């Protein structure tokens, strides 16, 4: 088995023009792959989750997503940073729920619970027939999932994708969200053209860790916001969308805490 360092930093060519790029790449990798992260990566490799990490697809304050190779397939590896910036942008209800379900006090524990949660939710979505990356496994702050993209690179976000038929996209989004709400019984809570990829001509929902059960006290308001975000985007593309109908079409009326019997 290769050493973790060899996996993350494959032998670098010494060609001059590559040096600068490699320098930046290296800096980024050094930032992510501290010793504990390298150990987590090597644990996942020994479990056969992937053979090597290829390059970063996207990196941000909360973590990074990398393309990985497994045999002749690709996978996506999401690594959460273990720092309080991970949760800085989260609304209080999400953090409260997480603390309750994880019953941990330290930060690392919360990040691990968050990673596990994303894995579980992705699994529920795939099972419900929603277009979302299939989860393969997780360990500590590292999640391995289906890679959405081609040999050429990762699939674009809806925001940047070329959409030829906005009305069809609307119909497909209704279908995805209706399955998420009706079958998986979850509300995403952070849906937008940024958290949706356009792959093989269809929308795929990603970034799901903050999803809540559809009977959660906040679920209805969150779904309303998700729908409003998409409605604005679709209208800008030229689709004919009525936000209220959109909300009803995804099963929004059934979302929210059960009303007490009178
Ligand atoms: N399974 C995947 N296949 C291909 N690309 C992916 C996959 N998952 C995520 N990405 C890419 O990585 C980016 C960040 O992923 P994601 O939204 O899950 O992470 P995040 O930490 O919430 O980042 P951000 O704060 O930018 O939303 C996505 O916009 C997408 O470009
Ligand atoms: Mg995101």
- For residues 106 and 35, give the distance between their C-alpha atoms in angstroms, rounded to a whole number: 19
Contact status, residue 157 vs residue 233, Cβ threshold 8 Å: no
The whole-number pLDDT of residue 178 equals: 98
Verify whether ligand 1 is closer than 6 Å to residue 158 (CB atom): no
Ligand 2 centroid – CA 63 distance (Å)? 10
pLDDT number for residue 1:
52
Q: What's the confidence (pLDDT) of residue 4?
A: 54
pLDDT for the residue 12? 44
Residue 241 near residue 212 (C-beta atoms within 8 A) = no
pLDDT for residue 106 = 79
Specify the pTM. 0.90
Question: Which residue segments constitute the domains of the chain, with CATH numbers given?
Answer: 4-9+23-147 (3.30.200.20), 155-254 (1.10.510.10)
* CA of 62, nearest ligand number: 1
Q: Which H helix or E strand runs over 212?
A: strand 212-213
Cα(212)–Cα(219) distance, integer angstroms: 7
CA 159 / ligand 2 centre spacing (Å) = 12
* Helix runs in the chain, H state only: 4-8, 16-32, 35-46, 92-102, 107-127, 166-182, 219-237, 243-249
Assess contact for 127 and 119: CB atoms under 8 A: no
Over the chain (262 residues), the average pLDDT of each successive run of 10 is: 53 54 72 87 97 92 92 96 77 86 81 95 98 98 97 96 98 98 98 97 97 96 97 97 98 91 66
Which pLDDT belongs to residue 13? Answer: 43
Q: Which of 53, 67, 57 is nearest to 7 (CA)?
A: 53
Distance CA 74, CA 248 (A): 37
Distance from the first to the final alpha carbon of the chain: 64
Euclidean distance between CA atoms 62 and 59, whole angstroms:
8
Ligand 1 atom nearest residue 208's Cα: 18
Closest ligand 1 atom to residue 148 Cα is 3
| Dihedral sign (CA 128, 130, 131, 135) | negative
Pocket test for ligand 1, best of 70, 191, 207, 210 (most atoms within 8 A of CB): 207
Which of 188, 221, 87, 202 has the alpha carbon at shortest distance from 148? 202
pLDDT reported for residue 100: 85
Q: How far is the CA of 226 from the centre of ligand 1 (A)?
A: 17
Cβ atoms of 196 and 157 closer than 8 Å: yes
> 170 C-alpha to center of ligand 2: Å?
20
Q: Which residues are catalytic?
A: 190, 207
Atom of ligand 1 nearest to the CA of 156: 31
């Amino acid at each position: 088995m290769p050493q973790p360092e060899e996996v993350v930093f494959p032998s670098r060519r010494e060609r001059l023009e590559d040096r600068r790029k490699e320098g930046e790449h290296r800096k980024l990798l050094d930032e992510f792959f501290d010793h504990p992260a390298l150990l987590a990566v090597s644990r996942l490799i020994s479990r056969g989750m992937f053979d090597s990490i290829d390059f970063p697809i996207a990196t941000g304050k909360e973590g990074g997503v990398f393309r990985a190779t497994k045999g002749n397939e690709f996978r996506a590896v999401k690594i959460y940073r273990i720092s309080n910036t991970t949760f800085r942008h989260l609304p209080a209800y999400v953090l409260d729920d997480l603390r309750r379900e994880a019953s941990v006090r330290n930060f690392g524990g919360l990040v691990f619970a968050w990673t596990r949660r994303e894995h579980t939710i992705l699994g529920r979505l795939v099972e419900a027939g929603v277009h979302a990356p299939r989860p393969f496994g997780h360990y500590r702050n590292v999640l391995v999932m289906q890679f959405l993209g081609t040999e050429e690179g990762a699939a674009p976000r809806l925001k940047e994708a070329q959409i030829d038929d906005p009305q069809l996209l609307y119909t497909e989004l209704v279908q995805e969200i209706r399955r998420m709400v009706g079958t998986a019984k979850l509300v995403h809570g952070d849906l937008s053209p940024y958290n949706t990829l356009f792959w093989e001509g269809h929308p795929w929902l990603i970034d799901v860790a903050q999803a809540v059960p559809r009977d959660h006290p906040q679920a209805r308001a969150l779904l309303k916001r998700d729908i409003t975000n998409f409605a604005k985007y679709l209208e800008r593309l030229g689709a004919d969308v009525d936000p209220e109908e959109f909300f009803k079409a995804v099963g929004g009326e059934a979302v929210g805490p059960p009303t007490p019997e009178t």
